[in-house]
A = this chain, B = another copy of it.
Amino acid sequence: MDKRYENPNIATIWANPAKVARWDQVELAVINARVKLGLVESVSYLTIRHVLEENPADIDWWLARDKEIAHDLQAYVDERRRHLPVELQHLLHDRITSYDTQEAAFAQAFIDSALVVMTAANELQRVLQDLAKKYRFAILLARTHGQWAKLKSFGARILSWFVELREAREGVLAAVEGCRRSKLSGAVGNYGGEGLDPETERLALEILGMSTFVGATQIMPRVVYLPLAQALSNLCGVLEKHSTDFRLMARSGNPLVAEPFGKKQKGSSAMPHKKNTIINEQLKGMARMARGYVDMIEESLDTWEERAIEQSSVERVAWPDLFHVTMRMLNQMTAVFKGMQVYPDHMLKEIINSRGTYASDEAKAFLAEHFSGEGVEAEAAYRVIQLAAFNVFEPRGFWAEARKNIPGNLEEAQALLEKGLKEPSVAVENIRDWISNARLEYTDTLDITEEQVRDYNRLLKTLFLRPGILEKWEEIFKITYLLKQEAYLFEELLT
């Protein structure tokens, strides 16, 4: 992994010293198991353990030996044996095959790395929960299809991120549990003649905190590990979605949030005004990387017969890099959320600018209910709201002109800009009043005739003359009405 994206804890776990130390643990567990079965004397085991602990493997010696004999595990055995008294040498790696040593050790690297991931994910979950509380009543205009939809608190949006993260984290947890199974059953998985047997396997794995996966070949079926890779990538994919949301919220115009920005930071070498969402953009790339690594691992289920090493090069690279990428994403996302700037004033502006359409769902239901009393179809309520929404966003005056007429050259474009700069801002109409005042206007963008528009207005006039209707109507545009059920989410998810 590029140094820039490397996580030091993950790097340590996958580096040679830790790898070889894990092999030591397995070799010792096998001897220890044989002690328990009365096959090896306890003192031999203790001596070997002592010698190995006192003499950590010499990584350079090992690598040089590997180069010579083209077999890394055998080179490791040679390295370890040279520290042992001759009479104990044969007890090390006795009647087991390379992958008997490597398999449980490999799974242990997953377990260790996953622990690092879980800790970071927990931290991010805590940050999100705190933020959800903090922004419990910072109201924004939620969006579907990038379009303004309905009101929601920023806290509730954060909760939706939180539950996705939690779901993905639980996926990692479940997958890592599956990795606590391994094998010590020889070169083709049936233990061979003597010296290695199911009981030795069971005891040795127990010492390592694992249980037996019965029926492996020389190696564990890779389908046992694959779900962990997928779960990690899914976690990355969830963070990718959150980073997209962040970038969308942070867009110039009326940004609702901004990434942390250092006091000395430069957003752009050319444009000094820039505050770019560079961290979140990087996260997008990281999620793509995670998927690529999983693709490599997914292809690697297919290995010939009792084993071949098609999966080996992939596993050396893709697994640690996948963990690095996951950690980078978790840590960067946590840093973003911890340091982000939030603009509730802009959230408010957006609600105001939406001209009451944020309540169109409830408004439609309100009209439908009252229209039905008049024998008017539900469809009419839909059309009235739709028409009003189109009306209030129709540009007028200078702006209507600017929509229609495109400048013919740069001078005209500049002249238009100068005119626009001087244009006074106009009062914004909203659908609440537009409808209650029966101001619907014909538009050629909808399939509603001028006569229908007149009918609708007549209907609305009648309706809003009735006592109490207007008060109820205005009520449904209120935050107090629209968000009253949101409390449920906070109760369920924060306690």
Bound-state CA distance A318–B147 (Å) is 27
Main secondary structure of the interface of A (DSSP, over half): helix
State whether the Cβ of A303 lies closer than 8 Å to any Cβ in chain B: yes
A350 at interface (Cβ–Cβ under 8 A)?
yes
Q: Are B310 and A149 in contact, with the CB atoms below 8 A?
A: no
Q: How far is the CB of A311 from chain B (nearest CB, A)?
A: 6
A-B contact pairs, 9 of them (CB 8 A): A90-B372, A141-B252, A144-B276, A197-B485, A237-B302, A282-B309, A288-B310, A289-B314, A348-B417
The segment from A30-38, A46-54, A182-190 that touches chain B is A182-190
* A57 interface hit (Cβ, 8 Å): no
Interface string of A71-112 (1 = CB under 8 A from B): 101100100000000110110011111100000000000000
Number of copies of this kind of chain in the complex: 4
Q: Which of chain B's residues have a CB closer than 8 A to the CB of A26? A: none
A248 at the A/B interface (Cβ < 8 Å)? yes
Q: Whole-angstrom distance from the CB of A63 to the nearest CB of chain B? A: 9
Which residue of the partner chain, among B266, B316, B378, contacts A4 with CB atoms under 8 Å? B316
Q: A273-B357, A353-B253 are in contact. Are A268 and B407 (CB under 8 A)?
A: no
Q: Contacts A145-B309, A234-B223, A360-B273: A265 and B69 contacting too (C-beta < 8 A)?
A: yes
Report if A270-B189 is in contact (Cβ < 8 Å); known contacts: A89-B378, A144-B306, A198-B488: no
Identify which of B5, B86, B298 contacts A233 (C-beta below 8 A).
B298
A304 & B248 in contact (Cβ 8 Å cutoff): yes
Residue A285 is within 8 A (CB to CB) of chain B in the complex: yes
Q: A400 on the interface (CB 8 Å rule)?
A: yes
User: Within A246-271, which residues are at the interface with B (CB < 8 Å)?
Assistant: 247-248, 250-254, 261-271
Provide the residues of chain B in CB contact with A90, threshold 8 Å.
368-369, 372, 378
* CB of A61 closer than 8 Å to a CB of B: no
Separation of A71 and B406 alpha carbons in the complex (Å) = 33
Among A187-240, those with CB < 8 Å from B are: 187-195, 197-198, 213-218, 221, 223-224, 226-227, 230-231, 233-234, 237-238, 240
Q: A9 an interface residue at 8 Å Cβ cutoff?
A: no
CA distance A308 to B146 in the complex (A): 7
Interface contact B98-A304, CB-CB below 8 Å: no
Q: Does A293 contact B (CB under 8 A)?
A: yes
When distances are taken between beta carbons in the complex, the residues of chain B under 8 Å from A340 are none
Inter-chain contacts of A251 with B (CB < 8 A): 143, 146-147, 248, 251
Are B296 and A288 neighbours in the complex by a CB distance under 8 Å?
yes
Contact indicator B308/A352 (Cβ below 8 Å): no
Measured in the bound complex, the distance between the Cα atoms of B419 and A184 in whole Å is 34
